[in-house]
Amino acid sequence: MSALETTTCKATRWPGVIRAYATHLPVTAETPVVTLHEGNTPLIRVDNFVRAIEGDFELYLKYEGLNPTGSFKDRGMTLAVSKAKERGASAVICASTGNTSASAAAYASRAGMKCVVILPNGKIAMGKLAQALMYGATTIAIEGNFDDALRIVRELGETGKVEVVNSINPVRIEGQKTAAFEICDVLGRAPDFHFLPVGNAGNITAYWKGFREYQAVGKADRLPRMFGYQAAGAAPIVDGHPIADPQTIATAIRIGNPASWQSALAAAAESQGHIGKVTDEEILHAHRLIARSDGVFVEPACAAPLAGLIRCVRDRLIPKGSVITATMTGHGLKDPDTAIQSAGVQPLVVRPNTAAVMEVIGL
C-alpha cells in the first residue's frame, strides 16, 4: 500500500483579510489592524449534494461559518473597526439580526472599544445572542424588527458620537469583497454562477464588487452571474416594495427594507443574474439536505440559495459542467433551536444497558 501523496500546502500563519488583500483595500501603513485572523475559509466541493438534487455541475461552498465569530461579517468588521480606531472613535454601534452584532462585539472588544448593539427582541438565534453578551457589548433588544433597529442606529450615527458599523458604512462592503477574491484565488478562475442569501443586501453588493475588481486587474478571467435569494416572507426586493412585518424562520435575513437594495438589483442586472425568493419549507429542506449529504452544517439563511439552486436545476437553468460557488454565510451552531426543529428527529432515549441500545438500533 503506497502512502497518500502529501500536498505541497503547509499550514501558514494567515494574517487576516486586511493584510492578505491590503492593496485592494482602503488602508495605509498607519491603519491599526484589528484582526482575529478572519478569512481564508474553506471552499468545499459538495458532489453528494449535487447528486441528490440531480445537478450536473461543480458546486463549491464558501464556508464562512469558519470565521472567528462564525459568520462572513468578520471580513467587513475587521476593516470597519480598524478604520474606526484609526479615526480615534471610542464606540461602535450596529443594528443586527445577530451576526453583525456578534462580530462587532468581538472586534470592538479586541480594539478596546465600547460596543452597542440593537437587536429585534426575541428574534435573534440563541448562539448569536450569547456572543453579544459574552463579548461584552451593551445589548439592547427593541420591541420592533431589524428595520426599526437600523433606523435608530442611523439617527444615532448622525449625532457624530458613535461609529456605525452596519453595511451602510462603505468600509464593511470593502472588507466583505475579499471573499470573492479568495474564491478566485482558490479556483484559479471566477465561477460561472455565484449563489448567496440576501438580507440587507450588503454581501451581494460586496461580492459583485470583488469579482469585478479582480477581473479588472486580470486576476479573474470572467464574471459570474449573481443569484441572490430572499425568504418568501421577507422578500422586499423580489416583491418590489418594503415589507412592514417580515417573517421567516431564517432570522438572519428577516429584513423588510434592505439598505443596499439598489446595488443588489444592479448586481443581478449587470451580471445577468437573478434575485429570487424561496419558502421556509424549501429553506428547511435544503438546510437538512446539505448537512446530511455532505456534512456541512449551516444556519438556515444559507439554505435559501441552496433552495434557489434546487429550483434552478428543476427549471433547467444551469448549463451542464458549470462551476458554481455559493456562500454559506453562517455556522449551523448559531441557531441550535431551528436546527433541532429542522432535523425533525429527537434522540432515542433508552435504559442504560447494551441490550436496550441494540434493540433501538435494530441489531
CA distance linking residue 268 with residue 265, whole number of Å: 5
Q: Is there binding between residue 100 and ligand AN7 (CB under 6 A)?
A: yes
Amino acid making up residue 211: F
Query: At a CB cut-off of 8 Å and minimum separation 6, what does 288 contact?
Result: 342, 343, 344
Q: Is there binding between residue 249 and ligand AN7 (CB under 6 A)?
A: no
Q: Is there binding between residue 96 and ligand AN7 (CB under 6 A)?
A: yes
Looking at 69, 97, 248, 263, which residue binds ligand AN7 (CB under 6 A)?
97
Q: Is there binding between residue 280 and ligand AN7 (CB under 6 A)?
A: no
Looking at 329, 332, 338, 339, which residue binds ligand AN7 (CB under 6 A)?
329
Query: At a CB cut-off of 8 Å and minimum separation 6, what does 204 contact?
Result: 196, 198, 226, 228, 260, 263, 264, 267, 268, 275
Q: Is there binding between residue 98 and ligand AN7 (CB under 6 A)?
A: yes
Query: At a CB cut-off of 8 Å and minimum separation 6, what does 244 contact?
Result: 256
Q: Is there binding between residue 68 and ligand AN7 (CB under 6 A)?
A: no
Query: Of the candidates 56, 42, 64, 139, which has an alpha carbon nearest to the alpha carbon of residue 94?
Result: 139
Query: Of the candidates 235, 299, 255, which has an alpha carbon nearest to the alpha carbon of residue 96?
Result: 255
Looking at 330, 332, 335, 339, which residue binds ligand AN7 (CB under 6 A)?
330
Q: Is there binding between residue 301 and ligand AN7 (CB under 6 A)?
A: yes
69: phi then psi, degrees, rounded to nearest 5: -105, 15
CA 154 to chain CA centroid, Å, is 22
Q: Is there binding between residue 99 and ligand AN7 (CB under 6 A)?
A: yes
Amino acid making up residue 132: A
Q: Is there binding between residue 202 and ligand AN7 (CB under 6 A)?
A: yes
Nearer to ligand AN7, 93 or 253 (CB): 253
* Least spacing, CB of residue 95 vs ligand AN7, in Å: 7
Looking at 77, 253, 284, 324, which residue binds ligand AN7 (CB under 6 A)?
253
Q: Is there binding between residue 41 and ligand AN7 (CB under 6 A)?
A: no
Grid cell listed for 43 = 471552499
Q: Is there binding between residue 290 and ligand AN7 (CB under 6 A)?
A: no
Q: Is there binding between residue 201 and ligand AN7 (CB under 6 A)?
A: yes
Inter-axis angle of helices 261-270 and 202-216, nearest 10 = 40
Ranges within 127-146 binding ligand AN7 (CB under 6 A): none
Residues in the chain: 363
Greatest CA separation found in the chain? Answer: 69
Element (H, E) at 275: strand 274-278
DSSP state of 66: G
Ranges within 180-199 binding ligand AN7 (CB under 6 A): 197-199
* Least spacing, CB of residue 262 vs ligand AN7, in Å: 13
Number of residues that bind ligand AN7 (CB under 6 A): 20
* Least spacing, CB of residue 334 vs ligand AN7, in Å: 7
Nearer to ligand AN7, 105 or 301 (CB): 301
* Least spacing, CB of residue 70 vs ligand AN7, in Å: 9
The residues binding ligand AN7 (CB under 6 A) are: 71, 96-100, 167, 197-203, 252-253, 299, 301, 329-330
